[in-house]
């Protein structure tokens, strides 16, 4: 058994997810507020885990639910959950990787695929590949995916937990320790919960995907280059990355992991800048950068994140741009004049 799956046999991992109220409420509301989409339909739950999403689908009126789970959780937990809720006539728990699963002979394809596949910075763990495999092999034409769209955001930010805290730790100055700690953390992304005041910008779209048509190959490498103008003054110490997913239906539901939203177990992914690149910025300061998110050559379930600071004097700015550089101020003024004529 792949270690990825055996790690998910730790019930404390599932406890963390089940106690995540924004996560739970998003899936519950997306399914229960759109019961008409599920009534008498065939549903597949990819990576069913404890089976709770399969239970939601059955309670929403699904005729048949395939709860496909690769880990031993399928037989140890999911079966129990389905039995104790009296749903065995609707939910069929299948202990299998989705890539090895086959629909029963003469069985129809599914109307809806439900999955909670998201990892840190959305793509960590690479489970979306399995959902796309299920989509390509088991979903009917015009079928639905829950969630159906996802967006990755990025914003320049401060990381006060790596700076201010260490000035005085119970009366002891630990700035030199903090310098070494920041050096270590600047070599890999930091999973942490930022406060809204730590953001220097509300966030811009780094990448957007419609899960009905994105391919697994498109997930191998994602590049993004932009110039953003800070919306508040502050210390630029890193880049904050988070995601949102949207569910289909008349009652649209969005699950956000933004610092501006209620905290989730995903928190945010922060790429910490080397200390020599940190600086105090005024409001409307231009920040030019490039991000590369690329699958690790050693493990396709993991990604390498690279952030490169660029020269805002050289890079092309969006139009209009609200930064304080003269060329952008003149461009913005010119556009306003054109609007009034």
Q: Annotated active-site positions, please?
A: 116, 125
Cβ atoms of 32 and 58 within 8 Å: the answer is no
Q: Which two tokens stand for residue 297?
A: 């050559």
Residue pair 121/243 in contact (Cβ under 8 Å)? The answer is yes
Interatomic CA distance for residues 45 and 22, integer angstroms: 19
CA 159 to CA 272: how far, in whole Å? 8
Q: Residue 283 to residues 131, 203, 315: CA-CA distances in angstroms?
A: 42, 15, 19
Q: Let me know: does 159 contact 274? Beta carbons within 8 Å.
A: no
- Residue from 224, 266, 231, 216 nearest 245 by CA: 266
Nearest Cα residue to 160 out of 126, 130, 124, 200? 200
Q: How many Å is the maximal CA-CA distance in the chain? A: 72
**Distance, CA of 181 to CA of 170 (rounded, Å):** 18
Please tell me the distance from the alpha carbon of residue 214 to that of residue 68, in angstroms, as a whole number. Answer: 22
Task: Give the separation between CA 162 and CA 165, rounded to whole angstroms.
Answer: 7
26's CB contacts (< 8 A; 6+ apart) are 245, 247, 253, 254, 255
């Amino acid at each position: 058994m792949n270690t990825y799956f055996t790690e998910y046999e730790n019930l404390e991992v599932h406890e963390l997810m089940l106690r995540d109220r924004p996560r739970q409420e998003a899936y519950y509301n997306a399914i229960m507020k759109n019961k008409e989409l599920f009534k008498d339909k065939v549903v597949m739950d990819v990576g069913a885990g404890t089976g709770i999403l399969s239970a939601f689908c059955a309670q929403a009126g699904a005729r048949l639910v395939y709860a496909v789970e690769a880990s031993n959780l399928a037989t140890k937990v999911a079966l129990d959950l389905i039995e104790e809720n009296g749903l065995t006539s609707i939910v069929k728990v299948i202990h299998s990787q989705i890539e090895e699963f086959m629909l029963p002979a003469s069985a129809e394809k599914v109307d809806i695929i439900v999955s909670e596949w998201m990892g840190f910075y959305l793509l960590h763990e690479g489970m979306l590949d399995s959902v796309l495999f299920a989509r390509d092999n088991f979903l009917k034409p015009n079928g639905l995916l829950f969630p159906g769209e996802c967006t990755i955001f990025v914003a320049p930010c401060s990381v006060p937990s790596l700076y201010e805290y260490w000035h005085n730790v119970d009366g002891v100055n630990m700035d030199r320790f903090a310098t070494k700690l920041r050096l270590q953390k600047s070599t890999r992304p930091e999973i942490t919960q930022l406060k809204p005041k730590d953001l220097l910008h509300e966030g811009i779209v780094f990448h957007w995907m419609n899960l009905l048509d994105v391919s697994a190959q498109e997930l191998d490498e994602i590049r993004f280059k932009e110039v953003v103008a800070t919306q508040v003054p502050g210390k630029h110490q890193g880049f904050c990355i988070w995601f949102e997913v949207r569910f289909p239906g008349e009652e649209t539901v969005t699950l956000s992991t933004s610092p501006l939203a209620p905290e989730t177990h995903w928190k945010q992914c922060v790429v910490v800048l080397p200390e020599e690149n940190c600086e105090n910025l005024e409001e409307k300061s231009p920040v030019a950068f490039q991000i590369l998110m690329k699958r690790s050559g050693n493990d396709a379930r993991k990604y390498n994140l690279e952030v490169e600071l660029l020269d805002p004097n050289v890079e092309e700015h969006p139009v209009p741009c609200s930064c304080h550089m003269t060329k952008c101020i003149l461009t913005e003024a010119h556009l306003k004049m054109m609007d009034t004529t």
